[in-house]
Amino acid sequence: MLGVTSAAAALINGLSAYLVYQYARARGQWGTDEPPEGSAEEVSFSSADDVRISGWFFKADATDAPAVVLCHGIWTGRRECLPLALRFREAGYNVLCFDFRAHGQSDGRFTSVGHHETNDVIGAVQYLKSRPEVDASRIGVIGFSMGAAATIQAAARCPDIAAVVADSAYASFLDAARYSFRVVTRVPQFPMANLAMRWAKWIVNVDANQLRPVDVIARIAPRPVFLTHGGLDEIVPVRHAHSLFQAAEEPKELWIVPDAHHVGARDTDPDTYFARVEAFLAEALKPAGDARAAAPASL
């Protein structure tokens, strides 16, 4: 009996390690869409911890224009953000969308679900500051899921981020992981979840207890924060948006989309989504001394 129990424990432990490796390992290119010919420049830059990051830069027609960084979710890539990138460019913004580390054409062996990716976001902002086309005082960042968590954490560290839009961000990774563990991995939460977190600390060099944007979001103020979340999110429960909103300081805005799933509002109603987010950024990134207020977006 003791031998059977030991063998079962070893099997469960090994499966936990395998799950962490499979879900954290580097991914190749996601999707097949390409920018219209001549609309984007292939660029690369260094993250804040010197990982090479690959992306697209979309140049605005006007000089000294504001800029938007688009940060995709886990296991996808820059192409997730391509439709939104084209819309923001048409609206007069410079746009940078990129592959996070261990995704697409960027370097890196493992994803860390937002921890090390925070350095990628900071590197993207520093790259934009070096572009002569960009008004360095007007850089906003939009993140989705993992990208949203990284965006919040980056803005807490980087004062060059003038405005934040976080879509479907977790407040605490441990809470979100326990909530969605069976949905994502297709295996029971107990005892796999706790074992997987221990393996993640060794394989990916991340302590899941540190993945808590809720603890740092208040540091973004007085820069504005826009939080949006789907009421039917099965990956990150909507209570995380309320926790983040409560922890954030003014100015802040919360938009809960009742019938949307994870990052669902962006894709199910792109016109309303873009209008709402762009109205927020138009106000947040208006030139210094410009007293004109952007028209409020309709729900």
User: For each successive 10 residues of the chain (299 residues), what is the average pLDDT?
Assistant: 52 68 91 97 98 98 95 97 98 98 97 96 98 97 98 98 98 87 58 68 83 98 98 95 98 97 95 98 90 41
| pLDDT given for residue 185 in this prediction | 56
Domain of 230, CATH number, reads 3.40.50.1820
| pLDDT given for residue 2 in this prediction | 42
Strands 65-71 and 41-46: unpaired
Q: Kindly state whether residue 168 falls inside one of the protein's structural domains.
A: yes
Q: Kindly state whether residue 265 falls inside one of the protein's structural domains.
A: yes
Residue 205's region, left for phi above 0, alpha for psi from -120 to 50, else beta, is: left
d(CA 245, CA 247): 5
Q: CB of 97 within 8 A of CB of 136?
A: no
Q: Please report, as a single letter, which amino acid is at residue 286.
A: K
Identify the CA nearest to 173 among candidates 164, 181, 165: 181
Please enumerate in sequence order all residues whose Cβ is within 8 A of that of 20, keeping only pairs 6 or more positions apart, or say none: 196, 199, 200, 203, 204
Identify the CA nearest to 257 among candidates 231, 279, 235: 231
- How many Cβ atoms sit within 10 Å of the Cβ of residue 272? 15
What is the pTM assigned to this prediction? 0.90
Please, what's the largest Cα pairwise distance for the chain? Answer: 76
d(CA 180, CA 23): 14
| pLDDT given for residue 3 in this prediction | 47
Which residue range forms the structural domain that includes residue 76?
36-176+210-284
How many domains are contained in the chain?
1
Among all chains, which residue has been given the structure tokens 């300081």?
249
Q: Kindly state whether residue 44 falls inside one of the protein's structural domains.
A: yes
| pLDDT given for residue 12 in this prediction | 59
d(CA 156, CA 87): 27
Q: Kindly state whether residue 17 falls inside one of the protein's structural domains.
A: no
| pLDDT given for residue 297 in this prediction | 41
Q: Kindly state whether residue 289 falls inside one of the protein's structural domains.
A: no
Q: Kindly state whether residue 114 falls inside one of the protein's structural domains.
A: yes
Q: Is 186 exposed, middle or buried (0-12, 13-18, 19+ CB in 10 A)?
A: exposed
